[in-house]
A and B are shown apart, each in its own frame.
Chain A
Amino acid sequence: MTGDPLMPHLMDIVARPELGDLILAGGFGVRVKQEHLVQTEARTLISPFPLARATNDLDLFVRMEIFSDSNRRDDTRRVIDDLGYEVTNRNWQFHKPLGENLPGRKVKIDLLSRSPNGGESVKLRPPRVGDGSLHGRDTAEAFAIDLGPIPVPVRGRTTSGVEIQGRVLVPHPYAWLNMKVRAAYDWLRMDKGEPPRKPYSEKHAFDVYTITAMLLEYELEQCREFSLAFANHELAISIRAEAQELFSSPASPALRQVRNQTGGNLDFDAFNEGLRQALGY
C-alpha cells in the first residue's frame, strides 16, 4: 500500500502508542486486512475475495476503557490534535489535508463507539458516547467490538517520511459482520421505499459478502463461539434475522446488489454457509 495517500496517515496513528487501542473499521480497515491476506497468501473462505475500496475516511472505534479513563481520553485527543487534525463535528469528527500534492483532498477521522452497558460509567447522549475532550458516534450494533480485535501487521512511512513497522487492530469478523448486516438492512429498508438514511449505503451488502469471503478458518471457529455467547443478546437476535432476510436467497435484493458490485462473481453456497455459521443462525 506504498502509493496509497491514506497509508501515511494510518502510519502516523500506528506510530503513536496512545492510539494503539483504536480499532480501524470501515472500508480502509477492510483494505488493510485484505492486503495482509494477499501478502501472506492466506487460505480464506472464498478465494479470490472481492477487492475492497475505501474513500478517505479512517473509521476508528474508541474502546470503552478509554472513555472511562480521563487521562487516556485526553491523551487520545491530544495526539489527534498533535497530528494536525481539525475538528469538523465537536470531538468526534476531524479532518486535515490528505497531502501537499493533492490540493483540496482531505483525510477524515470518524470516532465511533459501541453503546455503554448498564454498569459502565460512560455518558451516552445519542448520537454521542463519552464526554469531555473525546466523543464517539454511538453504534449500538458494534456491541461485540471489544471481542478479539484482529492485529494486522503494517509497514510504511508516516507523513513525515519515517519508515515504521507496527500493527493496527481491525474488528473481529463477528463484530464486523454484525455492524455491516445492520447497515445493509438499513439500506434494504430504503430499497423498500422508506426514506434514505445515508447515501451509498448499498455498499454495506458488498462489505458483508467481502468480510465473509475473507474469513480464515480459526476466525470462523471464534465466530461460532462468539455467536453462542450472544445467543440471547437482543440486538444479535435481530441482526441474525436481518441476515437471513437479506442473504438467504441468491435472488434477494442484497445479493443482486453484491453481484452488481463484484461484476457477477459470487460464491453463494460458501457465502451463505459461512455467514450462517459466523452469526449462528
Chain B
Amino acid sequence: MFPKMASFPDQEIAENRKPPSEAEVLDRLRRGRLTLSPLNLQLQRVNEGGASVDGVLEVNWGRERSTFLFEYKNTSSSRVLTNAVAQIKRIAAEPKTRSKVNPMVIVPFLGTESLKFLEQEKVSGIDLCGNAVVLGERFRFWQSGGPNTFSSSAPIKNVYKGTSSLFARCFLIQPRFASLNDLRNFALGKSHFTAVANQEPSRLVKGTASKVVKALVDDEIVARNGDELELINPRRLLDYLRQNYSYYGMHKVDAKTILTQEECWSRLAKVRGTGLKSVATGLGSATHYGVLSTADRPTIFVNDLEKTIDLLDARPTSVFPNLCLVETKSDVPFFDVRQEENKLWASPVQTWLELATGGPREREAAQELERDLIKGAQ
C-alpha cells in the first residue's frame, strides 16, 4: 500500500520550527504523540546513557507487526543520514540483534530522494513531517509529500559546495538578477532538463537562495542594489567554487557495451524525465567546448549505476572499456546541462571545475574556459 498524501503525525512538532532533541522525540514516542496513520508505533525500549542506538520501536499495521532498532538524529542533511544509516545497519547486523530487529532512522525531515536512498539501503525511516518508508518483515509502507516544517535558520556552512552552490553558479551564467525570486526561478529553469517530470528540485528553495546570496554579498562577490543582485567579482567566485569542488563520494566504473556512442545516448534520452538521470561529465564535455581532446568514449554522470548498466547492455570491465559511468547522488552535475541531439553535455562551469581541479593538461585547458566564463559574466 502506498498512500499518496502525507498526514502530519505530530502537530506539536509540526508547529515547532526547531528540530526537537532526542529526549523530546523519545518523550513523544512514549506518549504516543508521534503517529503515522495507518501504522501504529509503540516504543518498546529506550537505551539510556550514550548507547549506540536510541531504542526499539514496534510497528503494527493491522495484524502485521515488525520490530525496529532505531536511531534519531535532529539534523536531516544527507551526510548525517548516510552516517546514521551506516551506524544502524552495522548494529542491526550484529549477531545478537540480527534475527530480532530491523534498522530504522528517525530524522526531522525526509524528502523523496532521502526516502529512495533509505529504501535502496533497506533501512526504514520516519520523519516528523509525515514522510516515511517502513520496511517490515511482511509489509512495506511508503508515504511522501509532507513539506519540511523544520527549515533551519542557521547559515549554510559552505555556499560554494553541493546543491547550494547552484545559486552561486547561476551568476556565472547570467550576472544580474532583478530579485531573489528571479534568481530562484532561473536556477529552477536550469535544473529542469534532467529533473524527474513534474517534480521540482527539492533543495532549490527560496530560503537557501537567500542564505547563499547573503554569503556572496558578505564575500564581496555579489552586490545588492535594492532587490537587484549583480555579480561583481567573477574571478573570486570561480576561485571559491574551485577550492570547494570535489569528486569525493562518486563511484566510477569502466564498462564495455556493444552499443555505439549514438545508441547509448539514444537509450539514455528515451528514459529522460523518468528519474534515471545522465549527463556527460565535465571532462567528457571538454571536447564539446573545444578545449581538450579526450578519449573517444562516453564518460557519463548517472544517478543509478545499476539501472544504467542494464539499460546500455554494458558490463563493468577494465579490459578495453568503451564507456565510463560515474554514479552520483548529487543534483549538481545535472544543472545547466547543454543538449546536442540526444547527448547532454555538462555545463561550462561544471566542465571548468573538473578541468581546473584535474591534471596539468586539464588545468591548461581550463584557462580557456575560465576566460570565457569571466567574459560572459561581465
Which A residues are within 8 Å of any B CB, using their own CB?
Answer: 1-7, 27-28, 31, 34-35, 38, 41, 47-48, 51-56, 98-99, 102, 104-105, 199-203, 206, 260-261
Contact = CB atoms under 8 A, between A and B. Distances in A.
24 contacts: A3-B287, A3-B288, A4-B287, A7-B293, A28-B293, A34-B295, A35-B295, A35-B296, A38-B296, A38-B320, A41-B320, A47-B319, A51-B295, A53-B286, A53-B359, A53-B361, A53-B362, A55-B361, A102-B290, A105-B291, A200-B360, A203-B364, A260-B359, A261-B360
Interface residues of B, number: 27
A200 B295 contact: no
A53 B291 contact: no
A31 B294 CA distance: 8
Contacts of A54: 292-293, 361
Across the A-B interface, give the 10 residue pairs with the lowest CB-CB distance, nearest first.
A102-B290, A200-B360, A203-B360, A261-B359, A105-B290, A54-B293, A51-B295, A200-B364, A6-B293, A5-B290
A206 B362 CA distance: 13
Interface string B132-164: 000000000000000000000000000000000
B318 interface: yes
Given A1-B296, A48-B318, A202-B360, A55 B290 contact: no
Nearest to A98: B290
Contacts of A201: 360
Given A48-B319, A105-B368, A55 B291 contact: yes
A6 B360 CA distance: 19
Given A53-B292, A53-B361, A260-B359, A48 B320 contact: yes
Given A200-B363, A261-B359, A55 B287 contact: no
A54 B283 CA distance: 12
A248 B59 CA distance: 63
B248 to A, nearest CB: 12
A99 B290 contact: yes
B154 to A, nearest CB: 36
Contacts of A4: 287, 293, 296
B359 A206 contact: yes
A253 B333 CA distance: 33
Nearest to A105: B290
